[in-house]
Amino acid sequence: MQLEAFAANATEYLRSEQELLLDGVGIPLVRTPIEGRHCLVVVRGYRYREDLAALGPYIRERKPVLIGVDSGADALIEAGYAPDLIVGDMDAVGDEALRCGAEVVVQAYPDGRAPGLSRAQDLGIDAVTFPAAATSEDIALLLADERGASLIVTVGMQSNLGEFLDQGRSGMASGFLTRLRVGTKMVDAKGVAQLYRQTISGRSIALLAVLTVLAMAGAVAVSTVGQGWLQLLAENWENVVFALQRLIS
């Protein structure tokens, strides 16, 4: 019965939001550069604290666009990060987050009414609206996708059937169709945390090698045996150079 209701709701949602889902009509332009970058979309949902903690190396190295969905912006700040974008109806996000300097996208009803816009304006914050019948997390995904994100990593969103069904019929419909639209760009934070390995640059490896050699040389130089070796090396330097030249040639 629940699946039948979901199918009917998904059909109705697709009919009403066809232009949004298929052509991106109504998705606002934003100042934040997204094209070709990773986006991290944070919802204050399922195990969001653990996911954010596990993604520390990924965030430091990849520097993704940080998108807080309503109180997901507060979650980012609590974890020590500054959101680049805040998306939602503004009913759950704190004033501190709204004042942090992030760009704000206020969700509006399909007819254009946006109750959350007045709150942003009262705080002196410029904001754009995004009219859609989808959930706040879904419009964040659609925004990142339409503006050219190369990968969208999600925190706190549904990752299994049970969590997905918890959204209710309307949430399931928009979530299901949004994920079809975003496709393979979307990856759950748990998968990234398991697969991601922080890489060390070649320059860092070279610097570490040089420091190791210098440390060893210093240790040798201050020892009695080491001083004897250095004296012997100095006395036979010409022979050493000649031997090295023969090896190279």
Tens-digit pLDDT profile for residues 95-133: 999 999 999 999 999 888 999 999 999 999 999 999 998
* Alpha carbons 32 and 65: distance in angstroms, whole number: 8
CA distances to 153, 180, 188 from 184, rounded to whole Å, are: 11, 9, 11
Higher pLDDT, 219 or 78: 78
Give phi and psi for 87, each to the nearest 5.
-125, 135
Token readout for 31 is: 């100042």
Higher pLDDT, 204 or 13: 13
* Alpha carbons 27 and 144: distance in angstroms, whole number: 10
* Alpha carbons 89 and 145: distance in angstroms, whole number: 20
Tens-digit pLDDT profile for residues 30-77: 999 999 999 999 999 888 999 999 999 899 989 999 999 999 999 999
For 14, counting Cβ atoms within 10 Å of its Cβ (0-12 exposed, 13-18 middle, 19+ buried), the class is middle
Q: What is the pLDDT of residue 125?
A: 94
105 three-state secondary structure: strand
Please choose, from the candidates 29, 9, 21, the residue with its C-alpha nearest in 3D space to the C-alpha of residue 130: 29
78 three-state secondary structure: helix
Q: Which residue has the tokens 């001083």?
A: 227
Neighbours of 211 (CB within 10 A): 10
Phi-psi region of 112 (alpha: psi -120 to 50; beta: other; left: phi over 0): left
| pTM listed for this prediction | 0.74
Please choose, from the candidates 148, 162, 155, the residue with its C-alpha nearest in 3D space to the C-alpha of residue 69: 155
Q: What is the pLDDT of residue 1?
A: 57
Give phi and psi for 131, each to the nearest 5.
-75, 125
Whether pLDDT at 83 is above 80: yes
Is-contact 30 103, C-beta < 8 A?
A: yes
**Cα 57 to the center of its chain, rounded Å:** 11
For 138, counting Cβ atoms within 10 Å of its Cβ (0-12 exposed, 13-18 middle, 19+ buried), the class is buried
